[in-house]
Each structure stands twice: as C-alpha cells, then as structure tokens.
C-alpha cells in the first residue's frame, strides 16, 4: 500500500502540526510505502527511509491553487499511489485515489461568533468539501464526532482517534523529580473567546482582592490581543503589578518547566475538540482545574482533575481558592494505564488499520 501524506502542516505551531509530527514516525515504521507531500527542505529527515519518496509542494493549503488548479505533475504522483491522507480538511482538487482526512473539531458552526458570516460560510464550504471527498473521517473525541455528524451528516464513517501526550513530556517527567512548586497558576491557550481567558480573569481578579498570593502566568503573547479585546486587557491590568504575566513565545522546554513548577493549571475552555494541557500538566505533576464541558468530561473522566461549572466564574473562583488556600493541590498520581491511555501509536495504528 502506498499512501500520500499531506505534510504541509508539519511545521505548524498548533495542534495540527503536533498531531502530524508525532504520527509520522509510526506511519513510516508501519511497512507501507509513502509519498510525503510538502516542502522537501522540511522533509529531509525522512528521506533516508527507503519506503519514502517526496512530492515537492510549496502551495499553501486552502489557497485557490490548492483548491482548484493543483499542478498536474504533483497530482500524477499522488494518483500513482493508493490513498491520500490529510491531517486537516484541505483536499487538493484532482485527486482520484481514496481520500482520508482528520477533522479535529467543527467549532465555527457551533460558535459562529468567532468569525464573520463570510468567514463561517468559507469554513463550512471546506468542512463539507472534505466530508464529501473523504472515504472515512477521523476525529479526536466522541464529542467532535457527534458535532461533525450534526453539522455534516451521518452517511460517512467517522472514527475516533484521540490526540495524545507528546513523548517529550514523559521524558521530562522522568528527569524532573522533586520539582519545587511556585505560587503560580498557569493558563495555556490563545486569546480566542472559546479558550476562556476572560472567564479565568473574572475569577482570578476577585480572588486576588481576597488575598490569593498567586501569580497568573499566561503562556502566550500579550501582543496578540486585538483592539477589540480592550475589555480583557483592562481586566489583565486591573490587579496591578505583575499579578498577570505573559510569557510570550517560549520553547517546549520552557513550557514544561512552567507547568511542572506551577501549583495549578486552569483550563476554562468553553469549547474544545480534545484539549491536551490538562494531560500535560498532570504528567508533569501539576493538578488541573477544568471546565465541565462535555468533551473534557469525556476525555478526563478517569483522571484526577477538578471540574468547575462551565461559564461560572464564581464557581471557578471558589474551586481555585479552595484548592490553593485550604489544601494546596497535591501532585496527581497517574497509573501506567492512565499515562498510556492516549498515545500517538494507538492513533496511528487505528488510522492505518482503517485505510487497509
């Protein structure tokens, strides 16, 4: 079996980039042959594998050329194989072999306030296009599966293939025993509404006024805020001093250091497809306080997390202060089964099995 993998997202900084980079080694070790579609300069590390050839392509996903006039020379190479797989919803025009795709979530029709009417229409067009062209669709949770079926239909097979912890977190865990905790609360996420930073601030600021001696560390860049986020900016600045700090862009090693030293991770998300930060925090010995949205109740049902009521800043404040003031959250204990519940090997095996 020869599979073309769309690797144009391989250097992406978000979840799709991580998903692709972590799956690739397991794909390439499977015994199948592969055509890696993408910039050859980004794929050199894989070309020593005798089962790998490349199809050099620097065309941006979702561009007009990608969608409507993809080069015939590249299409010929893709169509010489047996299968085309994309880790996202971009499918070039002209592919004649069976297509398989991963739809991580379908947030925009569920939260249309995140984009304009034109933006929503464009995204729905790409969602529907990927759904129509795919033989099977993979997604990262039962929640995402149900929402895809709600918006796109039930006639296509949708297979749950969870996201997973990156091995580097397990390695860091093994080498970072007896880490000294600091008076910090960590938030990991971007500034978009569904990540819930505004909700966290509505809980954190009153807690500070009541004497909470902790600092809120936002792993991200303050400069990313747009002018429309002035209300959130005012909330950030209202406690004064360095009650809330932004790390800016930091390395994976620095993220793991912040997480391992934090007293608490707070994940106040209003919407997710899977959501890895709580798992990353627990692997590194830090308790997670997370919203009780359906997907987090699903993904973390067996884990020693604390839930607060979604959208309820008062409940978040009470839970946060209870954990930090009354009985400082102890380091979560994860069994071997929990540490290995979500792995990229399992995900790769399911995807390859469905293709065969």
Cβ 192 vs Cβ 114: under 8 Å: yes
Q: What is the pLDDT of residue 222?
A: 59
Kindly state whether residues 141 and 242 are assigned to the same domain: no
Query: Model-level pTM greater than 0.85?
Result: yes
Kindly state whether residues 29 and 136 are assigned to the same domain: yes
Distances (CA, A) of 238 to 142, 199, 223, 242: 40, 15, 17, 10
Q: What is the pLDDT of residue 228?
A: 46
Kindly state whether residues 183 and 225 are assigned to the same domain: yes
Kindly state whether residues 158 and 266 are assigned to the same domain: no
User: Quick one: DSSP state of residue 26?
Assistant: H
Q: Which two tokens stand for residue 247?
A: 């790390």
Kindly state whether residues 172 and 159 are assigned to the same domain: no
Q: What is the pLDDT of residue 233?
A: 63
Distant-in-sequence, close-in-space partners of 260: CB < 8 Å, separation ≥ 6: 172, 176, 179, 284, 285, 286
Cβ 259 vs Cβ 280: under 8 Å: yes
Kindly state whether residues 9 and 153 are assigned to the same domain: yes
Q: What is the pLDDT of residue 313?
A: 96
Q: What element of type H or E holds 290?
A: strand 287-291
Other Cβ atoms less than 10 A from the Cβ of 107: the count is 19
Q: What is the pLDDT of residue 104?
A: 95
Residue 297, phi then psi, degrees to nearest 5: -65, -35
Q: What is the pLDDT of residue 333?
A: 84
Kindly state whether residues 200 and 270 are assigned to the same domain: yes
Kindly state whether residues 158 and 199 are assigned to the same domain: no
CATH number, position 66: 3.40.50.2000
The tens place of each residue's pLDDT in the chain, 356 residues long, gives: 999 999 999 988 778 889 999 999 999 999 999 999 999 999 988 888 888 999 999 999 999 999 999 999 999 999 999 999 999 999 999 999 999 999 999 999 999 998 999 999 999 999 999 999 999 999 999 999 999 999 999 999 999 999 999 999 999 988 777 788 899 999 998 767 888 999 999 999 999 999 999 999 998 765 555 444 556 666 666 666 678 988 888 889 999 999 999 999 999 999 999 999 999 999 999 999 999 999 999 999 999 999 999 999 999 999 999 999 866 667 888 998 999 999 999 999 999 999 98
Comparing C-alpha atoms, which of 224, 200, 228 is closest to residue 116? 228
Kindly state whether residues 114 and 185 are assigned to the same domain: no
CA distance 73 to 29: 28
Kindly state whether residues 257 and 329 are assigned to the same domain: yes
Distant-in-sequence, close-in-space partners of 43: CB < 8 Å, separation ≥ 6: 7, 10, 36, 54
CA distance 158 to 165: 22
Provide the pairing of β-strand 134-139 with 33-38: unpaired
Cβ 323 vs Cβ 306: under 8 Å: yes
| Structural domain boundaries, residue 305 | 167-339
Comparing C-alpha atoms, which of 282, 278, 279, 258 is closest to residue 268? 278
Residue 83, phi then psi, degrees to nearest 5: -150, 150
Tally of structural domains, the chain: 2
Kindly state whether residues 100 and 199 are assigned to the same domain: no
Kindly state whether residues 114 and 213 are assigned to the same domain: no
């Amino acid at each position: 079996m020869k599979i073309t993998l769309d690797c144009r997202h391989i250097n992406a900084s978000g979840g799709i980039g991580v998903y692709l980079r972590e799956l690739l080694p397991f794909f390439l070790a499977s015994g199948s042959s592969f055509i890696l579609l993408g910039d050859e300069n980004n794929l050199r590390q894989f070309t020593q594998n005798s089962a790998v050839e490349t199809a050099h392509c620097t065309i941006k996903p979702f561009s007009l050329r990608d969608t409507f006039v993809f080069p015939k020379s590249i299409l010929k190479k893709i169509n010489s194989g047996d299968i085309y797989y994309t880790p996202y919803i971009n499918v070039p025009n002209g592919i004649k072999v069976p297509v398989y795709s991963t739809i991580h979530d379908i947030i925009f029709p569920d939260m249309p306030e995140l984009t304009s009417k034109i933006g929503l229409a464009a995204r729905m067009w790409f969602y529907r296009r990927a759904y129509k062209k795919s033989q099977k669709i993979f997604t990262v949770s039962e929640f995402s599966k149900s929402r895809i079926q709600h918006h796109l239909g039930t006639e296509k097979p949708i297979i749950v293939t969870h996201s997973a912890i990156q091995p580097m977190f397990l390695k860091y865990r093994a080498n970072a025993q007896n880490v000294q905790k600091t008076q910090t609360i960590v938030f990991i996420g971007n500034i978009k509404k569904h990540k819930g930073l505004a909700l966290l601030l509505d809980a954190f600021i009153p807690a500070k006024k009541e004497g909470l001696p902790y600092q809120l560390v936002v792993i991200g860049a303050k400069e990313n805020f747009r002018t429309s986020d002035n209300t959130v900016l005012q909330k950030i600045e209202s406690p004064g001093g360095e009650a809330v700090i932004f790390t800016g862009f930091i390395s994976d090693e620095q993220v793991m250091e912040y997480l391992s030293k934090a007293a608490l991770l707070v994940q106040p998300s209003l919407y997710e497809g899977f959501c890895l930060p709580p798992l990353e925090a627990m692997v590194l010995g830090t308790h997670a306080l997370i919203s009780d949205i359906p997907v987090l109740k699903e993904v973390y049902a067996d884990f020693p997390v604390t839930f607060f009521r979604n959208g309820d800043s008062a409940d978040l404040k009470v839970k946060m202060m209870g954990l930090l003031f009354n009985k400082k959250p102890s380091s979560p204990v994860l069994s071997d089964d929990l540490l290995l519940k979500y792995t990229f090997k399992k995900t790769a095996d399911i995807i390859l099995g469905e293709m065969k």
